[in-house]
Amino acid sequence: VIIVLDQAGALKKVQVVGESGVSDLDEAAVEAFRAAEPFPNPPKGLIEADGTIRIEWDFILEASISEPDLSRRYAQLE
pLDDT mean over 17-25 = 88
Q: Which of 2-6, 7-11, 49-53, 55-59 has the lowest mean pLDDT?
A: 55-59
Give the model confidence (pLDDT) of 38-78 as tens digits: 998 888 899 999 999 999 988 887 777 776 666 665 555 55
Contacts of 61 (CB under 8 A, 6+ apart): 20, 25
The answer on pLDDT for 32 being more than 60 is: yes
| Residue 16 DSSP one-character state | -
